[in-house]
Copies of this chain bind each other. A is one copy, B any other.
């Protein structure tokens, strides 16, 4: 029996649809893409997915577990995406809620090269939760962004990243921005004896990715940020080739988070982003400015679990919840999510009248409550 991967789909039926026909249709659409009889019996038996279980689920839905030959994927993340939710994305009422890869297939994906332990080592922080702030907004000059990086580093924030919308705009060209922000963080570190790391956003045209990674590496950055879906999920694996850690941003990914059609957030941002190599994954925290219908308390915990729970030989990755993180609430989130978390503080810091004092309060709160 060859290795099989198993995909769990929650099915919402249209009027007249039958659950078993819908499940069998998925098993064909994702493989032979032909009506029954369109391929030889041998190919049908080997290639078409097998509906292993089909059971009623909440709210009139059905849950189908379909097993596929792992050989259909090879070592190929784009083809895994195609198998998981390729052509069926063009249908309706199909939501991927779980992905189980056999050990042989898991071993073919690199996963995080640093992971939680490796990123902790680069930060010099063995146990407590980490704090990350973003230099923003787009439209500021490189010196103005560098000044923000300096102030966050002075306050003792562990990681400072570029806003995900900063790419190579004329207001703050990539190379100038990276050099100035890196210098600003290094200066603050010298002054405080701290170890703040700066993560530039390397998102840009496909042809520039390697060049930007080379700049980040040559400038001594420990890691980078990238917009995973706009670049292509396989790009998550690229920074590791330069020895760089990688934080993956969820922009554009929300299209997949339909209530009845798409991929569950913990499968996409958790399992798949981790397989692709993310050392940290940003997501909208419950209670922030994104709808709780998608990012519920349960959904956030499920993302954390998918990033951290044992998964073959793959390293665990840091969840990076953003939204609703301030000095008063951070003890609650540390209690809820545990120490292996990077808390991303964004717009709430900028809403404070004294940015430096607010950053210091937050740093103190994380250090005090997370030790």
Q: Does A117 contact B (CB under 8 A)?
A: no
Q: Which residues of B contact A78 (CB under 8 A)?
A: 167, 203-206, 227, 230-231
Chain A 265-279 residues near chain B, CB threshold 8 A: none
Residues of B with C-beta under 8 A to A229: 81
A230 to B256, CA, bound (A): 13
Q: In the complex, A76 Cα to B30 Cα: how many Å?
A: 32
A310 at the interface (CB under 8 A from B): no
Instruction: Find out whether the CB atom of B234 lies under 8 angstroms from the CB atom of A170.
Output: no
Q: Are A34 and B136 in contact (CB under 8 A)?
A: yes
Does A38 sit within 8 A of B, measured CB to CB? Answer: yes
Considering the chains assembled together, what is the distance between the CA atoms of A150 and B157 in angstroms?
Answer: 63
**Closest chain B residue, CB of each to CB of A268:** B255
Quickly give the copy total for this chain.
2
Interface residues of A, dominant DSSP: loop
Q: How far is the CA of A74 from the CA of B169 in the complex (A)?
A: 6
Q: A253 to B89, Cβ gap below 8 A?
A: yes
Shortest Cβ gap from A208 to chain B (Å): 8
* Cβ 8 A contact of A227, one of B82, B255, B291, B294: B82
Q: Across the interface, do B35 and A347 meet the contact criterion of CB distance under 8 Å?
A: yes
CB-defined contacts of A343 to chain B, threshold 8 Å? none
Known: A78-B206, A82-B252. 4 other contacts (CB 8 A): A33-B163, A33-B347, A86-B165, A90-B290
Closest 4 A/B residue pairs (Cβ) = A232-B232, A89-B254, A47-B139, A90-B254
